[in-house]
């Protein structure tokens, strides 16, 4: 069985921090031990050690949970939002269209789409900033690009397909794109090879998925970091 890491990324702003996704929480397997969440556990077995949990990794770097002021949510799959409750002072930045669409589904349909609403803090909606409400930026590289009001030179860019409302982060100063789950491996966009069947199962829109792969393929000289890749 192939193993995939569920990564999250720390971004240092001028005097605060932002996370790109949260990874899984320490109590993931306990939370998922009921129906229909068991379905997710069965399809994507998760092995998480205490040292893997984002909060514990930050502690090692002497960064406290309260210092994380923003969490950018690329999309709502459980491996990206699992540990949001570990950050009570953070505001969340995500696609409002994606969130509002998922919220309407039954719990069973949510889980079948990889979204486990139990991972959202109770006050999620009081702390959220919707990307679609931000200022649109005309960008030469990314067709849909928004400016983050609290971070100069960091942009939210639409990378649809894996989920309809998936966003990545474009960091021009680092010449880096955090591309979330736009692809599972580099070969998906360099060699047009298709992802593992689980990857295709958690792919909402095959047409835009392929268009996003094409976009990545054409990003010459930009460092692309995938959430489950080996980079």
Q: Rank residues 4 and 155 by Cβ distance to Zn ion and give the closer one.
A: 4
CB of 75 to Zn ion, least distance (A): 6
Strand intervals (E) in 113-174:
128-130, 145-147, 155-158, 167-171
Cα–Cα separations (whole angstroms), residue 124 to 36, 80, 94, 215: 22, 15, 11, 32
Tell me which of 181, 208, 212, 216 binds Zn ion, using CB under 5 A. 181
Calpha distance 23→227 (Å, rounded): 10
Q: Rank residues 94 and 151 by Cβ distance to Zn ion and give the closer one.
A: 94
Q: Answer yes or no whether residue 7 interacts with Zn ion by CB under 5 A.
A: no
What character string, x for contact with Zn ion (CB under 5 A) and - otherwise, covers 98-137?
Answer: ----------------------------------------
Q: Rank residues 86 and 98 by Cβ distance to Zn ion and give the closer one.
A: 98
CB-based closest residue to Zn ion: 77
Classify each residue of 109-141 as buried b or exposed e, where b means 16 or more C-beta atoms within 10 Å of its C-beta.
ebbbbbbbbebbbeebeebbbbbbebeeeeeee
CB of 80 to Zn ion, least distance (A): 6
Q: Rank residues 151 and 183 by Cβ distance to Zn ion and give the closer one.
A: 183
Calpha distance 44→6 (Å, rounded): 11
Tell me the HSE value of 195 on the side-chain side, using a 13 A CA sphere.
Answer: 23
Q: Answer yes or no whether residue 77 interacts with Zn ion by CB under 5 A.
A: yes
**Among 74, 54, 76, 62, which residue's Cα sits nearest to residue 10?**
54
Q: Rank residues 32 and 151 by Cβ distance to Zn ion and give the closer one.
A: 32
- Segment near Zn ion (CB under 5 A), from 5-13, 35-43, 151-159, 174-182? 174-182
Residues that bind Zn ion (CB under 5 A): 77, 181
């Amino acid at each position: 069985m192939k193993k995939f890491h569920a990564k999250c990324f720390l971004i240092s702003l001028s005097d605060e921090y932002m996370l790109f996704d949260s990874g899984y929480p320490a109590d993931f397997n306990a939370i998922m031990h009921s129906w229909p969440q068991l379905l997710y556990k069965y399809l994507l077995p998760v092995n998480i050690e205490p040292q893997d949990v984002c909060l514990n990794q930050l502690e090692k770097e002497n960064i406290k949970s309260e210092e994380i002021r923003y969490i950018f949510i690329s999309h709502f799959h459980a491996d990206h939002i699992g540990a949001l409750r570990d950050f009570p002072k953070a505001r969340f930045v995500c696609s409002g269209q994606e969130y509002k669409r998922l919220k309407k589904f039954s719990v069973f349909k949510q889980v079948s789409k990889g979204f486990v609403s139990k991972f959202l803090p109770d006050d999620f909606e009081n702390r959220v900033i919707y990307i679609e409400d931000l200022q649109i930026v005309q960008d030469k590289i990314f067709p849909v690009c928004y400016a983050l009001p609290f971070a100069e030179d960091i942009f939210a860019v639409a990378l649809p397909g894996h989920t309809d409302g998936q966003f990545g982060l474009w960091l021009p100063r680092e010449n880096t794109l955090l591309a979330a789950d736009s692809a599972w491996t580099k070969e998906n966009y360099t060699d047009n090879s298709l992802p593992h069947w689980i990857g295709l199962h958690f792919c909402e829109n095959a047409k835009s998925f392929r268009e996003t792969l094409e976009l990545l393929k054409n990003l010459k000289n930009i460092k692309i970091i995938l959430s489950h890749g080996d980079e």
